[in-house]
Amino acid sequence: MSKRIVLITGATSGIGEATTRLLADNYRLIICGRRKERLEGLKKELGGDVQTLSFDVRDKKAVFDSINSLPEDWQKVDILINNAGNAHGLDLIHEGNTDDWDAMMDINVKGLLYVSKAVLPQMVDRQQGHIVNISSIAGLEVYPKGNVYCASKHAVDALTKGMRMDLNEHGIKVTSIDPGLVETEFSEVRFKGNSEKAKQVYQNYTPLTAHDVAETIEFVISRPAHVMIGDLLILPTDQASSTIVNKKS
């Protein structure tokens, strides 16, 4: 049986990179991201069946041009992992930076839509496929100063449910994976490179790792054809909600 083709966005760090590494032996991978040198480094390190595509998910033309440029034998993507996403700033709504708002809505919502639109037609034609949207507990709950980020992830939750309805008749699975606190570059991006402030987010408790989430993705996409994991919330044991974390002094 030939290996299935998986396309992963945001593959150059965090959950995307961990998923790339975990799936490399058993799938043909199309890894995508803005940092071309990281993509090429991963490809060289992993060897095997790996294609790289360097584009920004916010750039609609670049998304379609890049995915359409794939060699013919790579066009039939079996699994799309919409992992690219970012949080920018942690501000009260009246103090928020509109550039941060644009970045979150453009990457987390519109970017997911562009990539999905580029991949879905061939899945519909073949009457099979799997979309995995990496969302967040922020798509299920709202927390103080999370306003626009939470709104973007709530949109991902709504899109996932809408996709599942629209694609049901075509035999396409649609999954949302909603992690809680995961120690990645996420907080460093949110705090605009302030690594000390980012480190404080993960102190005095044990957060999830990117590998933990990657293992969850691997489980979800390896279920039999008749089994679809719809929505999956994954939390560190020390976390009960967006605002309740059992931190040890």
| pLDDT given for residue 110 in this prediction | 98
| pLDDT given for residue 223 in this prediction | 98
Amino acid letter, 22: L
Question: How confident is the model over 180-194, as pLDDT tens digits?
Answer: 999 987 767 776 777
Q: Of 175, 67, 160, nearest to 108 (Cα)?
A: 160
Question: How confident is the model over 233-248, as pLDDT tens digits?
Answer: 999 999 999 999 999 8
Residue 208 has pLDDT above 70, yes or no: yes
For residue 45 the two structure tokens come to 């390190």
| pLDDT given for residue 192 in this prediction | 74
| pLDDT given for residue 48 in this prediction | 78
> Does residue 149 carry a catalytic annotation?
yes
Selecting among 27, 114, 143, 149, the annotated active-site residue is 149
- Residues 102-115 have a mean pLDDT of 98
Helix (H, G, I), strand (E, B) or coil at 223: coil
Q: Which pTM does this prediction carry? A: 0.95
| pLDDT given for residue 83 in this prediction | 97
Q: Of 190, 161, 185, 189, nearest to 175 (Cα)?
A: 161
| pLDDT given for residue 1 in this prediction | 64
On average, the pLDDT of the chain sits at 95
Give DSSP secondary structure letters for 76-124.
Answer: --SEEEE----------GGG--HHHHHHHHIIIIIIHHHHHHHHHHHHH
Could you tell me the pLDDT band of residue 198, with boundaries at 50, 70 and 90? confident
Report the Cα–Cα distance between both ends of the chain, in Å, rounded: 53
Question: How confident is the model over 19-46, as pLDDT tens digits?
Answer: 999 999 999 999 999 999 999 999 999 9
Percent of the chain at pLDDT exceeding 90? 90
Q: Which CATH number fits domain 5-234: 1.20.200.10, 2.40.128.20, 3.40.50.720, 2.60.120.650?
A: 3.40.50.720
- Residues 128-138 have a mean pLDDT of 98
